[in-house]
Amino acid sequence: MTILKVRHITHYTYHQPVGFGAHRILFRPRDSYDQRLLQSSLSVSPEPSDLHWIHDVFGNCVAVAQFETMSTQLRFETSIVLDHTRLMPLEFRGEADAATWPFDYEDEILPDLAALRVRQYADDGGVTMAWARRFVDGASSRDTADILERMTHAVHANFAYRRRIDRGTQTPAETLASQSGSCRDFALLMMEAARALGFAARFVTGYIYVPMRAGAENLGGGATHAWAQVFLPGAGWVEFDPTNGIIGNRDLIRVGVARDPVQAIPLWGTHTGQASDFAGMTVQVNVTDMQDTHDLQDTAAAL
């Protein structure tokens, strides 16, 4: 097993005291067979007048903080510790028809997947569809896994990674035109290209562990990370990280899923006053492997 700890600090500063609207914090992953949550904590300064939890429409755990005070600073610090199990990338069991593209989803699950198959940026002059068709037209193989793996590796190999912390994503057409983008942009391109081929796909927000092993060059560390999942009968929801060319959950810490990136913003809120009151924001994310015995004992004592 691998015990990973994520510490995430977001610090806003303002030129003069401002008030704050509700803030939504998406940081607590749900337990699963491949990642088991051992510990989580949330610290907010100034202290909220009310802090409560909800499950959003996708079943993600979201903390909602309300404020009555004014301040020149707003700071969020979250910490999670989880037992992460690396899974084999992609293996079909049972549903042999899905191993070859194209295939049909079963009638029983089609209503549940319908919204996740609809392209959100279809009016782009056909550039996303044309890019997606490159992986099936004239290809020697119509193997489903091969198509999605080649798509993932094509982004990793041919597009320039460009980190940015501002909100929003580029459209897939913008990413294709610039051949560059952030992890969010690459995840959205992967989703829309997969949807163009009839797959159900969704956005994943979380973190990536950048290990010290030889040859490890994971991009997206030091901030939140994003990638895509595609639903494949017989395999379920499979992770595809085009930023790093990862298929499967290796080094990926899944926090939340959504139909569209705007629905999975890790921290969202407002302040009262003028836009010019905002002075700046800093973000610090550290993902560590808690192999040190002292850290493991401290974690066990806290549970």
Q: Please provide the average confidence, as pLDDT, over all residues in the chain.
A: 90
Cβ neighbours of 141 (radius 10 Å): 13
Instruction: Summarize pLDDT for 87-130 with one digit per residue, the tens.
Output: 766 666 656 678 899 999 999 999 999 999 999 999 999 999 99
pLDDT score, position 87: 78
pLDDT greater at residue 220 or residue 38: 38
| Percent of the chain whose pLDDT exceeds 70 | 88
Predicted confidence (pLDDT) at residue 217 exceeds the cutoff of 70: no
pLDDT score, position 117: 98
pLDDT score, position 165: 64
* Mean pLDDT value of segment 226-233: 96
pLDDT score, position 216: 52
Instruction: Summarize pLDDT for 62-72 with one digit per residue, the tens.
Output: 999 999 999 99
Say if residue 120 is exposed, middle or buried (CB neighbours under 10 Å; 0-12, 13-18, 19+): middle
Predicted confidence (pLDDT) at residue 140 exceeds the cutoff of 80: no
Q: At what angle do helices 144-158 and 183-196 cross, to 10 degrees?
A: 150
pLDDT score, position 84: 94
Predicted confidence (pLDDT) at residue 158 exceeds the cutoff of 70: yes
Domains of the chain: 2-84+264-302 (2.60.40.2250), 96-250 (3.10.620.30)
Predicted confidence (pLDDT) at residue 222 exceeds the cutoff of 90: no
Predicted confidence (pLDDT) at residue 147 exceeds the cutoff of 80: yes
Q: What pairs with residue 54 in β-bridges?
A: 62
* Mean pLDDT value of segment 143-149: 92
Give CA–CA dist 9/282, Å, rounded. 8
pLDDT greater at residue 194 or residue 273: 194
pLDDT score, position 218: 67
Predicted confidence (pLDDT) at residue 214 exceeds the cutoff of 50: no
pLDDT score, position 221: 62
Predicted confidence (pLDDT) at residue 45 exceeds the cutoff of 60: yes
* Mean pLDDT value of segment 24-30: 95
Using CA atoms, how far residue 10 sits from 45, 127, 164, in Å, is 11, 37, 15
pLDDT greater at residue 193 or residue 165: 193
Check if the beta carbon of residue 30 is closer than 8 Å to that of residue 59: yes
pTM of the model: 0.91
